Amino acid sequence: MEKTRWFWVWVITSLFFRLVLIYFPENLNLGFRPEVATPLTSLRRLAEGYWLKQSSMSPYAGSMYHGSPMLLSILGPLTVKRIEGQPSHLMCSLLFVVADLVTAMLIRATGQTLQLAYSQSLRSLNLVSLLESSETLSAGDIAALVYLWNPLTIITCVGSSTSPIENLLIVLSLYGACLRIAPLAAFGWVLAMHLSLYPVILIIPVILLLGYGPDAPPRKLFLQKNSSENGNSPSCHGNYPCNEVTSQEKLPLHPFLWRPVMHFMLWASFWLFYVFVLCSISLKQHGGLLEMLKRTHGFILTMEDLSPNIGVLWYFFAEVFDFFRDFFLIVFHINILFMILPLAIRLKHRPCFLAFVYIAISSMLKSYPSVSFHSCSS
């Protein structure tokens, strides 16, 4: 009870700290920093796109806005609302604070689910002593507080960037997958992919979470456990275990469940179709879906904006000859894909950690990186 009370004290303090920073003059000018706001996440660019749309022009005219039309419909009206004597974009900043709070609560709930799965794994291995010592701290509470008090998360929240929305959708997808709620996991994954494209690689850990569950200990742990119970040395379980038949009978079954995976695929198809319908309606008079895909995902893949950021690709493509540009674009983007399969094979029994590794890799190798994705992966 005491730990829970202190947890909420720290949560409320982190929210109050964000509100204090929001009321600083011009938000400390963080919205103009390339480390915080990128061409894809800048709230100033979103406000420009909304103004163009309100003027009966395409929101992508002038090469300023490259985000989703859905963000224009949600955040656009908030960018034009002004409260006299209050900072600009106050309503958007308050929405980002709420998004950070919800993200932290989802991280906490995911941590509790992982802790429960970890406890069940220890019981199946007859390691009750480790279970008792591991319950002294709540991993979910610690992870939530680390996210809320991460300086990079705070900077992103008060720096006029739409990244807190993307972080929320990514965590929502993983949370739904941990609980095997296919509609929720599909909703978060589709929207996260729609906003920034790179979360598409998270489909592998999401499928593993839905199929195996949040924690599936490696098979060799059970083999070693049965070996010690039978009095055999661990070396017997090399390529040909000494008591192979007995060990196979004693192994707990962790089958891959295809039903939630199929539900996820169906719901993902539904949400993707629904998003495309909404975007086509929003851009009906401004080029439709093809224009949106060219200005959003195409903008990410072709890296048209070479303004400085915390990555290295902008500098590389500013120096490379145009003749080799397409070749190196393929090389840099496919570099992420080359890491997907080996990591999935090695970490298939730890899907949440696999998702963390994927997010960390994509945050470093993406076209327009910012501190927000480093804060999410931390």
State the angle between helix axes of 182-196 and 203-212 in degrees (0 to 180), rounded to the nearest 10. Answer: 170
The predicted structure's pLDDT at residue 1? 64
128 contacts: CB under 8 Å, gap ≥ 6: 122
- Residues 52-108 have pLDDT tens digits of 888 888 888 877 888 899 998 888 888 887 766 666 678 888 999 999 999 999 999
Q: Which has the higher per-residue pLDDT, 112 or 217?
A: 112
3-state secondary structure at position 238: coil
The predicted structure's pLDDT at residue 36? 86
Percent of the chain with pLDDT over 90: 32
The predicted structure's pLDDT at residue 124? 66
Distance CA 178, CA 208 (A): 10
- Residues 228-282 have pLDDT tens digits of 555 554 444 444 444 444 444 444 456 788 999 999 999 999 999 999 999 998 8
The predicted structure's pLDDT at residue 247? 43
Helical ranges in 26-89 per DSSP H: 43-54, 69-80
146 has pLDDT over 80: yes
Q: For 263-308, give the DSSP string.
A: HHHHHHHHHHHHHHHHHHHHTTTTTHHHHHHHHTHHHHHHT-----
Do the beta carbons of residue 52 and residue 181 sit within 8 Å?
A: no
**314 token code pair:** 């902008």
Predicted confidence band of residue 193 (pLDDT cuts 50, 70, 90): very high
The predicted structure's pLDDT at residue 271? 96
Distance CA 103, CA 97 (A): 10
297 has pLDDT over 80: yes
Average pLDDT value over all residues in the chain:
82
The predicted structure's pLDDT at residue 270? 96
**115 token code pair:** 């802790």
Distance CA 137, CA 145 (A): 13
Q: Which has the higher per-residue pLDDT, 376 or 356?
A: 356
Do the beta carbons of residue 149 and residue 356 sit within 8 Å?
A: no
